[in-house]
Amino acid sequence: MKITVKAPANIAFIKYWGKRNEKLRLPANSSISMNLSGAYTTTSVEFDSKLKSDILILNNKEVVGREMERVSKHLDLIRSIAKSKNYAQVKSTNNFPKGAGIASSASGFAALTVAAAKAVNLNLSEKKLSILARLGSGSACRSIPNGFVEWKMGNSSESSYARSLFGSEYWNIYDLIAVVGENSKKISSTEGHAVAESSPFYKTRLSGMKDKVAEIKSALKRKDFTKFGEITEAEAINMHTVMMTSVPPLYYLLPGTLDVISHVLELREKGIECYFTIDAGPNVHVICKEENKRKIQKVLSDIKSVKTVLINRAACGARVI
Ligand code: DP6
């Protein structure tokens, strides 16, 4: 049976950076995110007893090597639960640039997990799917539940999964992604996590996490956009400080990134409220309320280094289509 799944990318307001257990992808802290309506992966999986190995076709091109091995390893995990030996053909497309900080591994592994589990006839709960997706790529566990999501760090594989805090209709805020670079990053986030601890600021980052998560959850509950945005922006800078001060240092930001940041600050000075956040890549996610969306979109589109602006609001989690 061929199963097709659409899974959203997600943007973390409180980031996952650094792991307590690399193999199990247990994060060093809990994180908070929103699924993105305009950035998603569509994946179909079909197990076939005639296949001699797994096949991965990504954006219409067959993929081999490390990327393929990571997918095969994830399929092995699902096969072992289902006690199946069949290989699979996996076809996957992203509607956004891969490896550029729009969490392609999150939507990719969320879609792969749900499609493969269904295709091999496993009927798993959302919690189980989130745990499985986490084992493929940590942030993928947040693309399983709906809307606004919390990934509780937990203290074991079974207790580290994401759940929905609020559905996608809860709050009409937007994430306008100013794309300034479309090339895959040189250092993957998996490699980045592994060196986070080497930053002298990492311990300080983690010591403030519990309070930060509680504060942003409270702001979300109150729909306090100003507080929510301030925490989000400070958190992105906090993570990039750790990145840039780790050994080796990781510079995901490009000149265009800083260009967009300065426009965000200018917009705010003019009373147009918006805040930025950035993942492990150069693109800037500008968070705003609906009433300012058009104006901000126009300003971002007019910046020379901005190639395109992707518009997102909160979306539901991974779904069979
Ligand atoms: C900067 O989930 O890609 O986007 O678990 O090694 O696959 P792996 O890492 P990944 O890390 C995402 C890091 C981030 C922040 C975030 O999304 O929380």
Query: What is the pLDDT, as a whole number, of residue 100?
Result: 47
Domain boundaries, the chain: 2-169, 174-312
pLDDT of 101 > 60? The answer is no
CA-closest residue to ligand 1 atom 12? 139
Query: What is the pLDDT, as a whole number, of residue 159?
Result: 98
- The pLDDT tens digits for 81-93 are 999 999 999 999 9
pTM for the whole structure: 0.96
Query: What is the pLDDT, as a whole number, of residue 259?
Result: 98
pLDDT of 320 > 50? The answer is yes
Compute the mean pLDDT over every residue in the chain, rounded to the nearest whole number: 95
- Token readout for 171 is 């709050």
CA of 269 to the centre of ligand 1 (A): 32
CA of 1 to the centre of ligand 1 (A): 31
CA-closest residue to ligand 1 atom 5? 138
CA of 270 to the centre of ligand 1 (A): 33
Mutate which of 32, 189, 237, 284 for ligand 1 pocket (most atoms within 8 A of beta carbon)? 189
CA of 138 to the centre of ligand 1 (A): 6
Asked if 235 contacts 15 with a C-beta cutoff of 8 angstroms, the reply is: yes
CA-closest residue to ligand 1 atom 11? 189
pLDDT of 160 > 50? The answer is yes
Q: What is the mean pLDDT of residues 253-274?
A: 97
Q: Which residues line ligand 1 (CB under 6 A)?
A: 12, 15-17, 25, 31, 103, 105-106, 137-139, 189-190, 193, 279-280
Torsion of CA 255, 258, 259, 263, to 10 degrees: 180
- The pLDDT tens digits for 161-180 are 999 999 999 999 999 999 99
pLDDT of 219 > 60? The answer is yes
H/E stretch holding 139: none
- The pLDDT tens digits for 102-159 are 556 899 999 999 999 999 999 999 999 999 999 999 999 999 999 999 999 999 999 9
CA of 260 to the centre of ligand 1 (A): 22
Q: Crossing angle for the helix pair 126-136 and 66-82, nearest 10 degrees? A: 150
- Which atom of ligand 1 lies at the shortest distance from residue 137's CA? 7
CA-closest residue to ligand 1 atom 7? 137
- Best CATH choice for the domain 2-169 from the list 3.30.230.10, 3.20.20.60, 2.60.40.10, 1.10.3260.10: 3.30.230.10
Quick one: what percent of the chain has pLDDT higher than 90? 90
- 195-221 core/surface letters (b: 16 or more CB in 10 A; e: else): bbeebebbeebbeebeebbebbbebbe
Closest-CA residue to 113 (of 102, 126, 101, 97)? 126
pLDDT of 271 > 80? The answer is yes
CA-closest residue to ligand 1 atom 14? 279
Asked if 140 contacts 43 with a C-beta cutoff of 8 angstroms, the reply is: no
CATH code at 174-312: 3.30.70.890
Query: Letter for the amino acid at 209?
Result: M
Q: Which of 71-75, 102-106, 276-280 has the lowest mean pLDDT?
A: 102-106
